[in-house]
Structure 1
């Protein structure tokens, strides 16, 4: 019976085909043309709206959600899986090929149709593989260009032949393709058929490549864009190098680490699905979810519907961490200045923020010259370089457990100040109870240090030296107030502007690496009095304090000291109590280490990735500043301390 039914249906189709050949041809041609227009418009709209539409793909049947794609949710979904999850921008070959095939049905003779289709299909197959691989080789971190096909095949070929070998293979393959193409065009059938009635295959290829190039140029290279809401600036210019401020030496860096890792996208989509699933389970409705990938963590911004309680989402912290298999997450409810709730989840692949990339940024180079004492604390979750002016803080308190990045952070601050200020503008006082952390800076002590008279070692390491230098610094502060009073000015900035040619008062920056060792000594009260007095009064005369400790307990950071250090940085700490002590809130105990930090100032909490600088690079910088000829090696002495 089944065979008889199949034979009957085949015979009916053949009879219909014989009786209505033009109708079938017209229907098939219109089908191809309609699909080509649908795909082209959805692909074209995808380029401009994919960032906002990708979060709608998982709620395609929800009437409340409207996609920005020209062809709605269906267009957003189709274009997403063809471009983003498929062959990248070479997906545009598909609607163009369908369009050409539709035109051929109406205008080309039957005898040539077969050969025409073959040429179009061959071109589509070849370029849907060749172009994604080429894009992946040239732009390995821009997944929208290559798609998953280019990423997977490109990765496999690079592992076999290497990047140079793959480049050679691609060049050879494109030459071979065009040789075969042009040789086949010379045949009689192609000459008499396709070449007379429609543009040549070569012209079609050039037109398609030109279209793809113009789209890429228009969208990616004339403005800043986000890849999964991550800020990536293209064609960044290098800053103008000032030989006095910026020494020419080689710093270790890996620019590839600064780009977005395409592999993170897989985890990104999975995490989005899991977050939506958890919220739906607890009947929490959201109308959008966005993700921003930073150097260390990914920030998922949830936009809840009206009427959803913020506390309800915040209470799901443990459930979200469990379902995402994350070591720790941090929920910001709500994000200040935005109508959203943030969930910070550690990245699978951490990006190192190198100090060199910050120093070479033209924007930062210009911005730092507008500050009195510029310091870069690293990059935010939005991959923006974060800077502060120590003169406005006016002091900085740093805390964090052992090995979480305090010493690296202090070194990066010192290096950044050296890059932006000369020896006549700043002087350092370094207190190092460990005796080894700051010893590398001995070579610049003659020009960049404020020294105690009759002291041999410029780095303060012993307790009695600490008492003396704090006493001398307080006397220097009092002397400067007398100078300002006589000059009839209010602060050091006004004084230096008024008496620039006569005498310049340099800023003095006191840096203590491990304050806990000093505060727990038998001279604790005396040290605390000096520190409190300096923190209260020294701002106007250009004396600023940076104090670091690995034990941010109440015994170490007293209420009196804490009240005068409004700006604070916390690396990972061991408990919530320590986090509350340093930041007045929890969160520092959930940091993931390796430079991950929180900056607190004026009730604002910002998550940062501290810049990394290698000890060998610091050595090169110090050698440069210690040996250069343009720096005046002039000693700067503090007043004599009071006799004991």
Structure 2
């Protein structure tokens, strides 16, 4: 229907005038009310002489201001009268400028105004009955009436109950929210007084010289009493790390609620800009990254969100983001954003945790790869993998990851249950384990070095390991069992077969040797057949190219770990998909196994702690039969 432009313009003029009228009145009332608080005693006695020119009111807005203030405050609702100018001001803003936020909340503002206009006068009368300007006549009359009904104590309960019920309705407080809020408050105060606890601990240690801190080697802090009974080794575990009451890998870098909400708003804003509707979004904070789960509306194409990766990264000012579209097993799309301040996952806390003990209890060769974005300890059983391929650029956490695997196996298995073969072409990465070679290593006959550093010796050790595999298969055949677990179950006392873990720190160096083809044949043969007889391979390389990780090797290593790599091609080579190039380094990794991809933060263990562990096991462990020798390699 056609509307006359003149009529529309006339309405707009009237609307503008009315809006400014309300703003002006709100300012007038506020100044008069504010002035009344200071001059009401002098002005009140002169209100009956309104038209006397010789009488001047002390109120900033003169006699009119004094009269209005007296009516609204003293004879009205007391201090709650200040809500009137506020309400007029907001109404004027809505009429003039159509402020959407105010317009949407205008109805709730009215409800707040009505509630507090009644609640405040009654409360002030109950607390300060002699001050009339706070409660007004309304508060005085209603307060007196309620006190006559309930008494002063009863009125107090009524006032407190009303504000509690009001808060529950307005802020939608539920029992779970209340519990979480109390927990956060307790945690905040606990952290706030943390320095007092630390000071007390240091003073106690200094002046009392608590001898119990030695804990004698019989009660190590790593495992609970149940695990100590099963005794990982014949001698007790060492006290390698100083005990701390506060778990160090608890996320100390939790993003503030404000930052989380801001990021959510930015994600929603950029998606709305490209007309992508979402139902809800929730965030989970991990040690390294924060996962934002987006639940798109029905009909939204996943590819549209996936293609906005760079735009979302720009809008969030993030170094890099990774989009999981969709998250397996969930009806959502994940956006992984690096935390501003990452939290270190310490190996000692994983070893100490009850969660780690429960998850590894029934595993043959348990290894912890770190923590997930949900702060859960992630465990794998190497016996079921059955081999592991690791790749990553220099300095991204590959060597630390290998060390944590070795340490975890040392803690969980006895010397007679596990033997290592370490191949270290770089000669320095794994040399720290020399001291435990007698108890935990498998040797070539007449060999000098426990750790293989000479490329020319690699062929011999692999050849010897293949012969050991063939010998073990002969044993299984004669015993009519299918695998090492069944064999050890039947012939534990007669002849015990230990697991053998072959670890190669830099496989690329071996692939450059003149015996490359021979080495690849041995590795492939072991990867295909060695699982059943308890021989497992962990191979690491910093150059995941197709000439190093060939198709034949990849096909036999279904379990793979990728630390940060330099390009998408490297990521595809190791994982058969992109994503590793978007990691942020320092132990940030992707674990792939049978089409399952999980992002983890690798645990950190300091070199000094590794040295303590190795020193302990070097001094306190032994094997009844001495060295464990592999068969003599072929001369060819």
TM-score (norm 1): 0.68
Alignment match of 1:545 (pick from 512, 519, 537): 537
Residue 289, structure 1, aligned to residue 281, structure 2 = yes
Q: Flag the 1:375–1:166 CA change in 2: closer, same or farther, 3 A.
A: closer
- 1:249 maps to 239
Residue 639, structure 1, aligned to residue 631, structure 2 = yes
- 2:65 maps to 6
Contact 1:391–1:539 (8 Å) recurs in 2: yes
Contact 1:447–1:633 (8 Å) recurs in 2: no
Residue 467, structure 1, aligned to residue 459, structure 2 = yes
Matches of 2:199 and 2:623, distance apart in 1: 48
Contact 1:239–1:365 (8 Å) recurs in 2: no
- 2:196 maps to 164
How many pairs were matched up?
485
Contact 1:553–1:578 (8 Å) recurs in 2: yes
Q: CA deviation at 1:164?
A: 2.8
Alignment match of 2:524 (pick from 528, 532, 537): 532
Q: CA deviation at 1:509?
A: 0.5
Q: CA deviation at 1:260?
A: 4.7
- 1:592 maps to 584
Aligned to 1:274, what secondary structure does the other structure show?
Answer: helix
- 1:389 maps to 381
Alignment match of 1:561 (pick from 548, 553, 556): 553
Q: Gaps spanning 5+ residues in structure 2: where?
A: 1-27, 29-60, 84-99, 113-119, 128-138, 164-179, 201-221
Q: Which has the larger radius of gyration?
A: 2
Q: Flag the 1:570–1:167 CA change in 2: closer, same or farther, 3 A.
A: closer
Paired residues for 1:237-276 under 5 Å: 240-242=226-228, 243-245=231-233, 247-251=237-241, 255-276=247-268
Q: CA deviation at 1:497?
A: 0.7
Contact 2:253–2:342 (8 Å) recurs in 1: no
Contact 1:240–1:362 (8 Å) recurs in 2: no
Matches of 1:7 and 1:430, distance apart in 2: 93
- 2:566 maps to 574
Q: Flag the 1:3–1:578 CA change in 2: closer, same or farther, 3 A.
A: same
- 2:33 maps to none
Paired residues for 1:187-266 under 5 Å: 240-242=226-228, 243-245=231-233, 247-251=237-241, 255-266=247-258
Contact 2:500–2:534 (8 Å) recurs in 1: yes
Matches of 1:507 and 1:631, distance apart in 2: 15
Aligned to 1:279, what secondary structure does the other structure show?
Answer: helix
Q: CA deviation at 1:565?
A: 0.1
Aligned to 1:564, what secondary structure does the other structure show?
Answer: coil
Contact 1:143–1:262 (8 Å) recurs in 2: no
- 2:35 maps to none
Q: CA deviation at 1:439?
A: 0.8
Q: Gaps spanning 5+ residues in structure 1: where?
A: 18-23, 32-57, 64-72, 79-93, 125-141, 169-235
Matches of 1:277 and 1:14, distance apart in 2: 45
- 1:211 maps to none
Alignment match of 1:620 (pick from 590, 612, 615): 612
Alignment match of 2:495 (pick from 482, 488, 503): 503
Residue 302, structure 1, aligned to residue 294, structure 2 = yes
Matches of 1:472 and 1:632, distance apart in 2: 23
**Deviation digits for residues 130-188 of structure 1 (CA, Å, limit 9, x no counterpart):** xxxxxxxxxxxx9765679x97x999x98xxx9339999xxxxxxxxxxxxxxxxxxxx
Contact 1:397–1:546 (8 Å) recurs in 2: yes
Matches of 1:437 and 1:363, distance apart in 2: 30
Aligned to 1:641, what secondary structure does the other structure show?
Answer: coil
Q: Flag the 1:493–1:594 CA change in 2: closer, same or farther, 3 A.
A: same
Cα RMSD between the aligned structures? 3.9
Q: Flag the 1:265–1:8 CA change in 2: closer, same or farther, 3 A.
A: closer
- 1:39 maps to none
Alignment match of 1:521 (pick from 492, 499, 513): 513
Q: CA deviation at 1:393?
A: 0.6
Matches of 2:556 and 2:617, distance apart in 1: 33
Aligned to 1:505, what secondary structure does the other structure show?
Answer: coil
Contact 1:264–1:349 (8 Å) recurs in 2: no
**Deviation digits for residues 371-405 of structure 1 (CA, Å, limit 9, x no counterpart):** 11111100001000001111111000000000000
Contact 1:453–1:637 (8 Å) recurs in 2: yes
